[in-house]
Amino acid sequence: MRFRSFFGAAVFALAFVPAVSAHDYSKGKMVVDHPWARATIGTARPGVVYLALINEGKVADKLLSAATPVAARVEIHRSFMEGNVMRMAPVDGVEVAAGRTVEFAPGGLHLMLMGLNKELAAGDRVSLTLVFEKAGRIQAKVTVMPMGAGAHGGGMKH
């Protein structure tokens, strides 16, 4: 094999590495790490997406909104305890400070997929677009895990 074509082939192959590394998506200094969802039964109930936002830059950024073709709208929510009562409230944007990671994990921040038009089946890879104030739009693929799956990727923090 001639060097030129081997080198060319290698560069060509490397171009696909981001696409096949499969679990994190980045733009500029913002990384969306390991987005995952729980499977649903049908479309009557909302979907949930968890992930980590990693700001590798020197300037704070903010997640403003998200969208997906499989749901009418995506809302950012936070579960929190008020005394002994578990509550959930929409959140108007999530800041990620410079050099910090913000986890969206069970019991805390999460994305709610409202008005599903398609059941989320375990094994599916669902498109999700996240819109950041500075980084702009980041396209990610969310891995759908079985309903009974425990925390994926980053895991539950205690």
Shortest distance in whole angstroms from residue 13 CB to other proteins = 39
From start to end of the chain, where are the E strands?
24-27, 30-38, 47-55, 61-67, 71-82, 85-90, 94-96, 101-104, 109-116, 125-132, 136-145
Question: Does the footprint of other proteins cover residue 19 (CB under 8 A)?
Answer: no
CB of residue 66 vs other proteins: minimum separation in angstroms?
14
Asked if 114 is part of the footprint of other proteins (rule: CB under 8 A), the reply reads yes
Residue 58 binds other proteins, judged by CB under 8 A: no
Q: Are 95 and 16 in contact (CB under 8 A)?
A: no
Stretches 1-9, 63-71, 85-93, 124-132: which one binds other proteins (CB under 8 A)? 85-93
Is residue 112 a contact residue for other proteins (CB under 8 A)?
A: yes
98 makes contact with other proteins (CB under 8 A): no
Tokens matching residue 108: 């805390």
Single out the segment in contact with other proteins by CB under 8 A; choices: 52-60, 73-81, 92-100, 124-132: 73-81
Q: Does residue 118 interact with other proteins by CB under 8 A?
A: no
DSSP at 146:
P
C-alpha–C-alpha distance, residues 29 and 100, integer Å: 11
Question: Which candidate, 131, 114, 145, places its Cα nearest to that of 34?
Answer: 145
Q: Which residues bind other proteins (CB under 8 A)?
A: 38-39, 41, 44-48, 77, 79, 81-82, 84-88, 106-107, 110, 112, 114-115, 146-150, 156, 158
